[in-house]
Amino acid sequence: MNIVFMGTPDFAVPSLLQLLEHDYNVVGVVTQPDRPKGRKRVLTPPPVKEAALKAGLPVMQPVRLRNPEAVAALAEWQPDLIVTAAYGQILPKEVLDMPRLGCINVHASLLPRYRGGAPIHHAIMNGESKTGVTIMYMAEGLDTGDMISQVEVPITEEDNAGTMFEKLAHAGAKLLIETLPDLIAGRAPRIPQQESEATYAPNITREQEKIDWSRSAREIFNQVRGLSPWPVAYTIWDGEVMKVWACKVLDASTKHTSHAPGTVLALKPEGIDVSCGSGVVRLTMVQPAGKKAMAAADFVRGGKMKEGTVLGI
């Protein structure tokens, strides 16, 4: 049985490696083109490409998968099944119809909730206490296909987007391997999604990264950890962008009516205490413009920020 794997970021690598470790016949890998990365804009291959080449697998990197040349090249691999995980392009109907066993996707949410390209970020930003992975048949709509299997994964107070990506990547790979025998044997269920329960998680915009200090301390805490370690939430200090990598809730509800939201209430060795619409957060890791990320304590020792400063303006 020929399997074609489609994936791009770190999230997809464990699923590819599990297929190989369980001796599935992966005949080729499709991933996004190499992209410039870092300040020097070095052309960098996606993690799935690196893993595939290390395993000696042929790799395709079409700019647009729906181009006839890309579809024809894919057909030459004669896939019986296509497995995708965070590939990053919508599969055209010609590809969806190509394998006799269909196309399945490892999606990082408990569908039908959080359909779209950033389900992990949005689940944390919305303060969810759990998320999960769904193995689903792919359809022409955005994450609308029938579900095959799911696994729940809790979100703890200590989790951020980075830790949840890793947890869900491994949970998804394990669920994929558990699901495949039934799929291949024709025993896998087709569970329709309840459209009335669907929510969406589009890619993160620059505006969603900016901290609105009029929100509650809990909402800002969830925003910061939901965007860390990428793309990272930010505020404005001294007219420039200052990224906020981590914070904690000091006070969840008190309204500091004598201070505008965003006011620096205290500069302590433990961090920077900032008033919110309700409550107080302590910034524990920040990145001023032109600097590397640092513990807020180190930033405070620099003495450049003063108490009473209002962030975000």
Tokens read off for 28: 């080729």
Q: Is 84 helix (H, G, I), strand (E, B) or coil?
A: strand
Instruction: Output the known binding site for (6S)-5,6,7,8-tetrahydrofolate.
Output: 109-112
The residues that bridge with 136 in the sheet, in sequence order, are 105, 147
Instruction: Give, in order, the Cα–Cα distances in Å from 251 to each of 38, 159, 255, 268.
Output: 37, 20, 9, 16
Tokens read off for 78: 């004669």
Q: Are strands 240-251 and 264-268 parallel, antiparallel or unpaired?
A: unpaired
Instruction: Output the known binding site.
Output: 109-112
Instruction: Give, in order, the Cα–Cα distances in Å from 18 to each of 2, 103, 162.
Output: 15, 18, 21
Q: What is the DSSP string of 243-298?
A: EEEEEEEEESS---TTS-TTBEEEEETTEEEEE-SBSEEEEEEEE-TTS--EEHHH
Q: Is 136 helix (H, G, I), strand (E, B) or coil?
A: strand
Q: Which residue has the tokens 């558990």?
A: 178
Q: Angle at Cα 292 formed by Cα 288 and Cα 295, nearest 5°? A: 75
